[in-house]
Chains A and B, each alone.
Chain A
Amino acid sequence: MSFAARQQEALAVWRVFDQPELRRILVGSATCGRAAGSLEVLQAFRDELAQADLEKSTALYEVGCLGMCYAEVLVEIRAQDGRRVLYQGVEPRHVAQLVEQHLVRGEIYWPLALAQMGEGTEELPAFHDLPMIKPQERIVLRNCGFIDPNNIDHYLARGGYSGTARALTMGPDAVIDEMKASGLRGRGGAGFPTGVKWGFARATPAAQKYVICNADEGDPGAFMDRSVLEGDPHAVLEGLLLAGYAIGASIGYVYCRAEYPLAIERLQTAIEQMHNLGFLGDNILGSGFNFSIKVKKGAGAFVCGEETSLMQSIEGKRGMPQSKPPFPAVSGLFGKPTNINNVETLASVSAIMEKGASWYAGFGTEKSRGTKTFALAGKINRTGLVEVPMGINLRTIIEEVGGGVSGGKAFKAVQTGGPSGGCIPARLIDLNVDYESLAEVGSIMGSGGMIVIDEESCMVDMARYFLTFTENESCGKCVPCRMGTQHLLRILTTITAGRGTLADLDSLRKIGDTMKNASLCGLGQTAANPVLTTLQYFEDEYRAHIEDHACPAGACAALIHFTIDPAKCTGCGLCARACPVEAISGEKKEPHLIDQGACICCGSCRQACKFDAVLVS
């Protein structure tokens, strides 16, 4: 069957899915949705539909993530009027009402209604007009939450694999030129131009070459790759197929961490579908190009996100970085020329081949083209997964997309790039988010973690948190990283405990400098960044810990104590219930008291209090 005919079949399937007359329920059931209870909601819908005898006339689908983590579980319901309404915070207890009121009677259930898909109305805004969504440009996430990820026809119907069909007629060199023209840079963190990288691997003559999709997303709090793999696996696999075609590889690997079982399942399903439809195997679409894809599960080492370690791991060895040169494009997996791209890069590749380089280059800035996804987390109102054009400023992301700092607290800093990244202070909030600007202020784009920090977060403690992570995850091979992370953590722990000295700051800088310049791989070279950037922008906070034995943010347990302001306390008892060590006592409606001897300074009471009655000093 020709590709065009195949596409027609897929469109027919899509039309059934998309026909307005069909009652349809979409439940966001990626891992994030499942964590919020989407499988229970899904079951509740199944039961309810059966009971209402609607199961035959209603289509119920699991879809990927729309990125609005704060609003999970998200359910889109379309009754027979064709109107599609997005509900937030759905729990099983709401299901009967939703079915009865919306699906049967066609009336919106207002308490949970968030948006209307398509055009909005006065009382219910359009999805794309939501403040969180409006500044976004969805290229990587183009299908997430809108299609059934287990159905290749949905992907095909929305333009999928048309880029492949086009590429196969263009020839590998033209594909590489297209990539270069698009300006796409590696989204794994380093930002190396993708087309150039492909060109290197293509230029190395070899009978066997490999392409690898790096899906070993390891930064704490980052889940961009997982969402794409779960919500739109074909977008990534098509990118990998295109990369393989461009460099002349016949085997592709997806190296995905074993902690992502759903992503792995979706990948395996998608690979089987690709084989069935002739997008994998021999002579793909009659082009003479042969390609197959294997999924390799990673065992959860952070360092295996580093490309040379990742390849060692695929080879069955301990994941340990190797010195470069030789670069993977010359000698990579099993000693063969290899190209590695990350999930987001590959999902962009398939979009670029579908819509063209100039379309893609229309987004972003001159040096940083296209879009970037971020996992927005920390002290922010709307946590979630967002995709914004390069060059957007931080303020837009934090204030508009994220809805500002949660709890009305003051914005202090934003941390990008996870354990390898750095902190950007509040005064730089108008910074443009692109590779160059972030590097200029000492941080990195990284793979896309973005943690918002408010006035109650201690920068020293945050640096300590990241060092706890890297100290644990250092592979131990090279001295500066193995020993350096241990010493940084030791010193930071001393400072947060109020036992630091000013000489410690000098030690932190010296060790950090040694790690940056003498470590073997990216992990060690960047592990000191959280320390060095906080030292750069928040040295005062470090000094306060050392000289005044005080934690200005009120976060370091050894340096603070909590009291209750009797004037503000209403005696509601929330704090006493939140206290894990039963250190708070008091009569109902009377001001409560904290037993200082028993208090462990965890701050739970302060968070629980609705009247700002818990004071920290």
Chain B
Amino acid sequence: MGSFSLIIDGQTVEVEEGATVLQAARRAGISIPTICDHKDLNPYGACRMCVVEIEGVRGYPTSCTTPAAAGMRVTTQSERLSTLRNRTLELMFSGHPNSCLVCVHREACEQHRPTATKAARSTRCGFCANREECDLRAMALSAGQPELSLPTMYAAYNLERDDPFMDRDYNLCVLCGRCWRICEKIHGKPAISIINRGKWARIGTAFNKSHVFSGCTFCGACIDICPTGTLTDRFARWQGKPEAETGSACILCPQGCAVVAQSKNQRLLAYTMPAFNRDASLCALGRFGAAQMVNSNQRTTRPQVREGEDLIPYDWDAALKAAATGLKEHAGKIAFVISATSSREERYLYAQLATALKGQMHLVPAHALPGDPTLTTIQEAIHGQGALALLMNGPLLGGVEQSRMAFSLVIDALHSDSSEQASVVLPAAMLSENSGTFRSSTGEIRQLSACSQAPGDARAEWRILRDLGQTLGLDGFSYTKVEDITRAMDNAVGEDAAPPAMTGDPRHNVRELITTYRGHQVADIVPALAAFGLPQRSMIQEESTAGSDNGFPILEKKEIVPNMHFFKIQAPQVAKFALPGQFVILMARETSERSPFTLVDWDADTGTISLVIEEVGRSSRELASLRAGDMLAHVSGPLGQAMPVEKRGTVLLGGGCYGVGAIYPLARALKQAGNRVICGIEASSSYLLYMQDELTQVSDQLILATKDGSEGVRGGVQEILVQTAEREQVDQFIAIGCTFMMRMTTELSRGLNIPTLVALNPIMVDGTGMCGACRVSIGGDTLFACIDGPLFDGHAVDWDELASRRSAYAPQEIQALSQGVDLSALMHQAHGPTDTHQCGCGR
């Protein structure tokens, strides 16, 4: 291929044939803004930001689509071009929520927000999940703070959460097309494309099917290439930008795909594909499941030794001694049952142990399910050998086999029935916590590099085996690093065998995903996999039917704006005694967490209560996934102190996020008591405001505020408070919403000398004053929000303490999002096994 030169901004640039003008400019170190361009995608020309002027060419061609030509003279910076680019940017941001660029409270919020909002949502006060790595935001700010004067026109789509691993918020989409283009590049026929036309044009699947039935393989490429917060990995999204990216391999199956492991704080966030092409793609389990497995609450974290009926936690030395004793006792009668998805070093050490102890070595293929002929063969061999002891690195054989043994040692990363029955359990590191090498089923050797820390006392398996060998007093177990073993293997005669290949290819067909990992059913650890029909313990079915005959029926349920769910629930006893300012505690199911929610409305006659539930974490998401007709296991209440309703004069009620609904009963009561009631509500963008009609009916004035100025006052409740106080005497101010808003408005009202009540929302467990979790400091006194509150004098609140107590469990809350039962998957599983959905997902 030849090369030639062209002139860009007076600079001569030499490029290869086939290069675009944009590539040539980059070669010359000239930066041109663009959002739809991506190095791994073909030119597309949709965002129109990269327009340039070319001598002899009419108009303003996009540099990303124009092939460079010899002698071309290109101008990338001119007044005209910058006008066009600024206007195009303005047009783009008139359809993309832009409060992240223009919110007046941005800096203060970032300072006072205890952590990234843990919410499993993107639009709360304009800080979307991708804020820390948003290409769009970076482009917008590349030429300084952009001037956005066009009024916004938002699409106001509902969020999409009905597939197992992705959250999609098309309100944030700018239609750069990267997602569907990478899908087409990797999979040929894309599962997604632009659907509809004009202002309703958006990314979607054919015939609006759920992604599960769209041909999507859940490779995650669309998420990784999305420049905005539109497409996100449900598990990783709230954990922020990864700190490290480590090249390694995924050994969940014998394919041993190369991955880039993203990690933060020594925790795995996700395995991602090392390059955007078909050969490098990952399966749903590797892309989305690996991190959930590594971070699972089913991890084995301590060595345990059986004492009678019980498994007792031991320290490593004692546990290794117990294991060594058991093995030595049955030398010659030991069966080694080892998974084929073990690293080469692990298999080498197991083989060495087996030789030294005259045991039999059996390799279990990754895809072997109970009843598999390979397993039957192994069982027969064990019987033939007359084995009395068993060493397994996973629940690879049935419990019957294990119970026959006089001694069994389980070295595993995850809890199982086998570890429950074992004589000794040694906790192992897994996947991203391990280093070494792996021979894939095609025979290639892949490097494994650790990037995350094993939980608790868990250790790398090679270390466990080395220490076991040393404890047994065997020779040849004196390695200090895993590389020493690798070297020993390389020097040994003969090549280690490749693990048996699988029949299917899960990377290109979700129906061919492996169902077990080292004997564990993967869907038990990653419940969302049930959406693909992967087998699971019966736990989910049991739970989903529990309490369906008794409980509290949901009469009405709708997502009034993205992430805000309105509920009407049959709860006569609550409705009968409810007073303004009180709250209830809900449990979706018998095993759910208890979560408090402020009462929005109630009707003693019909025995119903209404709530607005904002999705912020696992429990609220669990509630949000319920539908009218479903039952809640528990509704406890009314709880807390009612607001004192008296005539104060003019009362200003400020509501944000869930507080917009929560101020409604207060406004109604205060109005009935003869006050002049002003309601001020805030949201980041116009389409996130709600209940305007209802609030108008119970107040003398309703004032709206949006952070991006798309409707009403530009700003939030702060601005409403200041402007109202300038206009008229305010005798009482009440704020309900996020801690940041309540804190900021309280500071303002202190200066304005307005008595202020705030509804505090600390972490709460029982709601009856027993546990003390909701402890708050008010004017130096320790009070409980559940029985002394939730309304307190805002000027007396210790806000710093509240913020720190609220964020105490943030990591666990983020982790919990992927744990336990994934209800979105459950919905499809329970109501729509095929492509006819009666599950309410609307597809």
Asked if A pairs with B, the answer is yes
Provide the bound-state CA to CA distance between A301 and B65, in Å.
24
A483 touches B194 (CB 8 A): no
Name which of A152-160, A238-246, A473-481 contacts chain B. Answer: A473-481
Provide the bound-state CA to CA distance between A280 and B67, in Å.
39
A483 touches B92 (CB 8 A): yes
B87 contact set on A, CB distance < 8 A: 480, 510-511, 513-514, 518
A477 touches B84 (CB 8 A): no
Q: Beyond A487-B94, A517-B59, A518-B88, is A471–B198 a contact (Cβ under 8 Å)? A: yes
Query: Which residue from chain B places its CB closest to the CB of A520 in the assembled complex?
Result: B45
A477 touches B194 (CB 8 A): yes
B488 contact set on A, CB distance < 8 A: none
B65 touches A323 (CB 8 A): yes
B198 touches A480 (CB 8 A): no
Q: Does B4 contact A (CB under 8 A)?
A: no
Provide the bound-state CA to CA distance between A318 and B62, in Å.
22
Q: Does A484 contact B (CB under 8 A)?
A: yes
Nearest CB of A to B28, in Å: 22
Provide the bound-state CA to CA distance between A17 and B66, in Å.
57
Q: Does A382 contact B (CB under 8 A)?
A: no
Provide the bound-state CA to CA distance between A200 and B736, in Å.
69
Contact with A along B171-209 (1 / 0, CB 8 A): 000110100000000000000011111111110000000
Q: Does B95 contact A (CB under 8 A)?
A: yes
- In the complex, which of the residues B47, B60, B66 contacts A478, with contact meaning CB atoms closer than 8 Å? B47
Nearest CB of A to B598, in Å: 37
Q: Beyond A487-B91, A518-B60, is A480–B48 a contact (Cβ under 8 Å)? A: yes
Provide the bound-state CA to CA distance between A471 and B91, in Å.
14
A301 touches B197 (CB 8 A): yes
Q: Does B546 contact A (CB under 8 A)?
A: no
Q: Does A519 contact B (CB under 8 A)?
A: yes
Q: Beyond A323-B43, A478-B45, is A517–B60 a contact (Cβ under 8 Å)? A: yes
Nearest CB of A to B530, in Å: 33
Nearest CB of B to A471, in Å: 5
- In the complex, which of the residues B48, B150, B175, B194 contacts A519, with contact meaning CB atoms closer than 8 Å? B48
Provide the bound-state CA to CA distance between A511 and B149, in Å.
12
Q: Does A490 contact B (CB under 8 A)?
A: yes
B62 touches A323 (CB 8 A): yes
Nearest CB of B to A447, in Å: 20
B151 contact set on A, CB distance < 8 A: 490
Q: Does A472 contact B (CB under 8 A)?
A: yes
Q: Beyond A477-B175, A482-B201, A487-B153, is A318–B194 a contact (Cβ under 8 Å)? A: yes
Within 8 A of B (CB), among A461-499: 471-480, 482-487, 490
B46 touches A477 (CB 8 A): yes
Q: Does B257 contact A (CB under 8 A)?
A: no
A318 touches B193 (CB 8 A): yes
Provide the bound-state CA to CA distance between A301 and B201, in Å.
13
Q: Beyond A323-B45, A482-B175, A510-B87, is A518–B51 a contact (Cβ under 8 Å)? A: yes
Provide the bound-state CA to CA distance between A301 and B45, in Å.
20
B62 contact set on A, CB distance < 8 A: 323, 520
Provide the bound-state CA to CA distance between A299 and B781, in Å.
71
A317 contact set on B, CB distance < 8 A: 193
Provide the bound-state CA to CA distance between A483 and B60, in Å.
19
A325 touches B66 (CB 8 A): yes
Provide the bound-state CA to CA distance between A475 and B66, in Å.
21
The interface residues of chain B, by DSSP majority, are classed as loop
A511 touches B197 (CB 8 A): no
Q: Does A433 contact B (CB under 8 A)?
A: no
B197 touches A475 (CB 8 A): yes
Nearest CB of B to A107, in Å: 56
Interface residues on B, range: 35 or more
Query: Which residue from chain B places its CB closest to the CB of A483 in the assembled complex?
Result: B91
Q: Does A320 contact B (CB under 8 A)?
A: yes
Query: Which residue from chain A places its CB closest to the CB of B67 in the assembled complex?
Result: A325
Query: Which residue from chain B places its CB closest to the CB of A515 in the assembled complex?
Result: B91
B201 contact set on A, CB distance < 8 A: 474-477, 482
Q: Beyond A479-B92, A487-B150, is A473–B197 a contact (Cβ under 8 Å)? A: yes
Q: Beyond A471-B199, A475-B194, A479-B174, is A518–B84 a contact (Cβ under 8 Å)? A: yes
Query: Which residue from chain B places its CB closest to the CB of A320 in the assembled complex?
Result: B194
A483 touches B197 (CB 8 A): no
B197 touches A472 (CB 8 A): yes
B84 contact set on A, CB distance < 8 A: 514, 517-518
Provide the bound-state CA to CA distance between A518 and B80, in Å.
11
A476 touches B175 (CB 8 A): yes
B46 touches A478 (CB 8 A): yes
- In the complex, which of the residues A320, A474, A490, A520 contacts B48, with contact meaning CB atoms closer than 8 Å? A520
Query: Which residue from chain A places its CB closest to the CB of B66 in the assembled complex?
Result: A325
B46 touches A511 (CB 8 A): no
Nearest CB of B to A69, in Å: 29
A473 contact set on B, CB distance < 8 A: 197-198
Provide the bound-state CA to CA distance between A320 and B180, in Å.
13
Provide the bound-state CA to CA distance between A590 and B62, in Å.
68
**Which of B60, B200, B201 has the largest count of A CB atoms less than 10 A from its CB?**
B201
B174 contact set on A, CB distance < 8 A: 479
B193 contact set on A, CB distance < 8 A: 317-318
Contact with B along A545-574 (1 / 0, CB 8 A): 000000000000000000000000000000
Query: Which residue from chain B places its CB closest to the CB of A321 in the assembled complex?
Result: B45
A482 touches B199 (CB 8 A): yes
B47 contact set on A, CB distance < 8 A: 478-479
A490 touches B153 (CB 8 A): yes
A483 touches B45 (CB 8 A): no
A476 contact set on B, CB distance < 8 A: 175, 194, 196-202
B94 contact set on A, CB distance < 8 A: 483, 487
Provide the bound-state CA to CA distance between A301 and B193, in Å.
16
Provide the bound-state CA to CA distance between A485 and B198, in Å.
8
**Which of B47, B87, B92 has the largest count of A CB atoms less than 10 A from its CB?**
B87
Within 8 A of B (CB), among A238-262: none
Nearest CB of A to B92, in Å: 5
Provide the bound-state CA to CA distance between A323 and B36, in Å.
13
Contact with A along B675-709 (1 / 0, CB 8 A): 00000000000000000000000000000000000
Query: Which residue from chain A places its CB closest to the CB of B201 in the assembled complex?
Result: A476
A513 contact set on B, CB distance < 8 A: 87
A520 touches B199 (CB 8 A): no
Contact with A along B80-103 (1 / 0, CB 8 A): 000010011001101100000000
Contact with A along B490-527 (1 / 0, CB 8 A): 00000000000000000000000000000000000000
Nearest CB of A to B91, in Å: 4
Contact with B along A512-528 (1 / 0, CB 8 A): 01100111100000000
A and B contact pairs by CB, cutoff 8 A, 11 listed: A317-B193, A323-B65, A325-B65, A471-B198, A476-B199, A476-B200, A478-B47, A480-B88, A484-B91, A485-B198, A518-B60
Known pairs A479-B47, A479-B88, A482-B198; list 19 more (Cβ under 8 Å): A301-B197, A318-B193, A318-B194, A323-B43, A323-B66, A474-B197, A476-B196, A476-B199, A478-B48, A479-B91, A482-B201, A483-B91, A485-B198, A507-B150, A514-B84, A514-B91, A517-B84, A518-B87, A520-B45
Interface residues of B (CB under 8 A from A): 43-48, 51, 59-60, 62, 65-67, 84, 87-88, 91-92, 94-95, 150-151, 153, 174-175, 177, 193-202
Nearest 10 interchain pairs by C-beta: A476-B201, A323-B65, A483-B91, A323-B45, A514-B87, A518-B48, A472-B198, A474-B198, A479-B92, A477-B46
